[in-house]
A and B are shown apart, each in its own frame.
Chain A
Amino acid sequence: MSLQLDFPAVLERWPSFLGGAVLTLELAAFATVFGALFGTLAAVGRGSRSPLIAGACKVYVEAIRNTPLLVQIFLVYFGLASLGLKLSAFTVAVAALTINVGAYTAEIMRAGFEAIPRGQIEAAEGLALSRLQIYWHIILLPAIERVYPALTSQFVLLMLASSVCSQISAEELTAVANYIQSDTYRAFETYIIVAVLYIILSLVMRAGFWGLGLVLFPRRRRLGTPL
């Protein structure tokens, strides 16, 4: 058995790889930002006194966590199309990924909210802060701080999972790889390079989250406590 690898034949397509990697990162960045906001709102909603809001948030979270991402992407893709909305593959991909990661974010953030001691909220109430002010000043950052590793891992997973967006021909890294390997007949080399690029993207994201953590949690920085 002999294995012959011809990387140069594949590597000469580096601009395509780079373009795909950048698009993957863009997909992940948009979906992370929107998904974090959306998921946090859903987590707040699950704690709502209104059974309607709490129930709707629960249904959303459970529906997403119990269906495959690819099916969700198709649902958004064909669903929007049948409503007559003509959106780019990129927009559809961001929307589907946002809806997906939002559900996982909601569960993680809910754990963070529940970990805030009751005494913190009572102290804030005792100082006459409003409910909104308490969420904003007292609960949100410490909750994020508690679940930061789980939360950021979820966003990295999202970036990796975005490879299924190749199915709706969003020109992200995996889609690019599919073209290149069918062009060059060098499938193994192509996917080795793609795998390495995904690892690099993961490392870039993790470094980004580490840096963001330094900004978000100045106490950790001052006291040198690791996250």
Chain B
Amino acid sequence: MQQNPSSAPIVSLRDVQKSFGPLLVLDGVSFAVERGEVLALIGRSGSGKSTALRCIDRFEKVDGGEIVVCGHRVDRPDVDLRALRQDVGIVFQSYNLFPHLTIEQNITLAPCAVKGLAASQAKDLARKVLAQVGLEEKLHAYPEQLSGGQQQRAAIARSLAMQPKVMLFDEVTSALDPELTAEVLKVIEQLAADGMTMVMVTHEMGFAKGIADRIVFMHRGKVHETGPASILTSPTTPELTQFVGTGNLKS
């Protein structure tokens, strides 16, 4: 554990290296996320941003460097994965709701199985987190009965039910049309307003600009430029200039 957890970053990466075979995906990546901060990881496809995010929850094992998440040394082989993942919530591009379970069962499963919550308490919790994402009426629906945006909001609710200290979002709106994207982004905005610490990989530049406290622009496995959201409008490196120039910067 950290000496002074209240002031230590929730997430910190230092000189993280990661290769897939001969391909160097992360080449000395470092950044930190403070409590209550929203950090947006941006960059081209293949720049390593999703891999960096997945390393935080140890879905990828790093080859070198140090990752500390809520006091857990994630880079070490003996890290307590289940303790780590109780502190970290992750939401995926493809929602990954469990298709054979109702939305309520999707949400109550982990609190009951992992934290030993009583069924009645878990059900109350499910109602609460579904209200947070505006889906109270879908409690007893199955995932396939929901739209993509609703499924993604339910997946966010499922993560919230574990009361994580930090939430990771891996391109959570990439599979959605603009209208459904908007409803998901609204939920994430509300979480940010409530003070949730978040790391998000996103292609929604307008959204990143609006919500992120800090931007990390990744390029060829390195943190190429980092700074407040304003770097999106006044980038200093030619690569970021080109990157934001090619995308349509919605505001």
**Chain B residues with CB below 8 A from A130, complex form:** 82
- In this complex, what residue of A is CB-closest to B83? A128
Task: Tell me the minimal C-beta distance from A92 to chain B in angstroms.
Answer: 38
**Chain B residues with CB below 8 A from A222, complex form:** 142
* Contact yes or no, A128 B96, CB < 8 A: no
**Chain A residues with CB below 8 A from B92, complex form:** 119, 122-123
* Contact yes or no, A128 B82, CB < 8 A: yes
B2 within 8 A of A: no
Q: Residue-by-residue, is A117-134 near B (CB-CB < 8 Å gives 1, otherwise 0)?
A: 101101111111110010
- In this complex, what residue of B is CB-closest to A141? B100
Task: Tell me the minimal C-beta distance from B217 to chain A in angstroms.
Answer: 26
A111 within 8 A of B: no
A138–B158 Cα gap in the complex (Å)?
Answer: 14
Q: Residue-by-residue, is B139-166 near A (CB-CB < 8 Å gives 1, otherwise 0)?
A: 0001011000000000100110010000
Task: Tell me the minimal C-beta distance from B95 to chain A in angstroms.
Answer: 8
**Chain B residues with CB below 8 A from A26, complex form:** none
* Contact yes or no, A127 B96, CB < 8 A: no
B12 within 8 A of A: no
- A127 and B158 contact, Cβ closer than 8 Å, known pairs A122-B92, A142-B100, A145-B100: yes
- A137 and B109 contact, Cβ closer than 8 Å, known pairs A126-B85, A128-B86: yes
Task: Tell me the minimal C-beta distance from B70 to chain A in angstroms.
Answer: 13
- Interface size of A as a range: 20 to 34
Task: Tell me the minimal C-beta distance from B127 to chain A in angstroms.
Answer: 18
- A119 and B96 contact, Cβ closer than 8 Å, known pairs A127-B158, A223-B144, A223-B145: yes
Q: Which of B28-70 contact A (CB under 8 A)?
A: 57, 59
A217 within 8 A of B: yes
- A127 and B99 contact, Cβ closer than 8 Å, known pairs A122-B59, A122-B92, A222-B142: no
**Chain A residues with CB below 8 A from B88, complex form:** 126
A49 within 8 A of B: no
The residue that A122 contacts in the complex, of B83, B96, B142, B158, with Cβ under 8 A, is B96
**Chain B residues with CB below 8 A from A137, complex form:** 98, 109, 113
Q: Which of A90-118 contact B (CB under 8 A)?
A: 117
**Chain B residues with CB below 8 A from A122, complex form:** 59, 92, 96
The residue that B57 contacts in the complex, of A117, A126, A141, A142, with Cβ under 8 A, is A126
Interface size on B, residues (CB 8 A): 28
Task: Tell me the minimal C-beta distance from A50 to chain B in angstroms.
Answer: 18
Q: Residue-by-residue, is A210-227 near B (CB-CB < 8 Å gives 1, otherwise 0)?
A: 000000010100110000
B176 within 8 A of A: no
A126–B86 Cα gap in the complex (Å)?
Answer: 8
B187 within 8 A of A: no
**Chain B residues with CB below 8 A from A123, complex form:** 90, 92, 96-98, 155
A219–B82 Cα gap in the complex (Å)?
Answer: 29
A133–B111 Cα gap in the complex (Å)?
Answer: 12
A129–B145 Cα gap in the complex (Å)?
Answer: 25
**Chain A residues with CB below 8 A from B82, complex form:** 128, 130
- In this complex, what residue of B is CB-closest to A219? B142
- In this complex, what residue of B is CB-closest to A223? B142
* Contact yes or no, B145 A119, CB < 8 A: no
Q: Residue-by-residue, is A126-159 near B (CB-CB < 8 Å gives 1, otherwise 0)?
A: 1111100100011001100100000000000000
- In this complex, what residue of B is CB-closest to A133? B113
* Contact yes or no, A217 B113, CB < 8 A: no
B94 within 8 A of A: yes
**Chain A residues with CB below 8 A from B59, complex form:** 122, 125-126
* Contact yes or no, B142 A127, CB < 8 A: no
**Chain A residues with CB below 8 A from B57, complex form:** 126
Q: List 20 A-B contacts (CB under 8 A).
A: A117-B96, A119-B92, A123-B90, A123-B92, A123-B155, A125-B81, A125-B85, A126-B88, A126-B89, A127-B158, A128-B82, A128-B162, A129-B109, A138-B98, A141-B100, A145-B100, A219-B99, A219-B142, A223-B142, A223-B145
